[in-house]
Structure 1
């Protein structure tokens, strides 16, 4: 099978990404919560920030949490695909993915706290 090139490859990549986003919104509670958080954070960022740079920091910090959740879910899917039996490395992979989400949440919290402290 010949690899797609140019615009067809971009369309195909967009369709694949859209399929993944749809799956996440239907099947991953944490991702759904983070999507709601993003929708809420956008208007709130206009209220609590004093600059476009602060708004970008606030919104991108939430998007970063969503990015970490996507990677974590991908790790979990691969581990589960390999086998559902308990294995130390499988558990470690899942724990590391979870840690990535926790780190992103802490960075998000720090960004929001910084902007709130600076402006209030």
Structure 2
């Protein structure tokens, strides 16, 4: 395998390791994963169209990405110091807020995309 290809494979493996580590150790990442599975199952059951799938997948990816960045920031701050510091708190709170913003966005997308067809099926 050439040098650039080996680096690409190694980068992919490192990224995959980061994802699996987050799933293994982060309770919120597992929650978001279960929520994503529920959304995908509902979308399949409701037979949503391609455009709606794009919105749902974007929302899932946004939440997962925000959660992964939040985890990275929390781990980095914890690695730098175990002392309680107002700037460390601000960094962690801001990263958590990014996840909250994305989760609210995802919930809104879910309600807009899945709400009407779910309502028709149930009522």
Pairwise TM-score range, normalised by the shorter structure:
0.7 to 0.9
Q: Contact 2:43–2:114 at 8 Å: present in 1 too?
A: no
Q: Distance in 2 between matches of 1:21 and 1:112?
A: 23
Asked if the contact 1:31–1:69 (Cα under 8 Å) also holds between the matched residues in 2, the reply is yes
* Aligned partner (choices 30, 33, 39) of residue 41 of structure 1: 39
Name the structure 1 match of 2:98.
100
Runs of 4 or more consecutive aligned structure 1 residues displaced over 2 Å after TM superposition: 46-50, 116-120
Matched, 1:28 2:26: yes
Alpha-carbon RMSD? 1.7
Match 2:5 to one of 4, 7, 26? 7
The offset of 1:5, in angstroms, is 4.7
- The corresponding residue for 2:75 is 77
What is the CA distance between 1:47 and its match in structure 2? 2.9
Would you say the 8 A contact 1:68–1:104 is kept in 2?
yes
TM norm structure 1: 0.87
* C-alpha deviation, 1:6, in angstroms: 2.0
Residue correspondences, number = 117
Q: RCO (CA 8 Å, sep 6+): is it higher in 1 or 2? A: 2
Match of 2:63 among 62, 65, 70: 65
TM-score for both structures, normalised by structure 2: 0.86
Please say if residues 34 and 66 of structure 1, whose CA atoms lie closer than 8 Å, have aligned partners that are also in contact.
yes
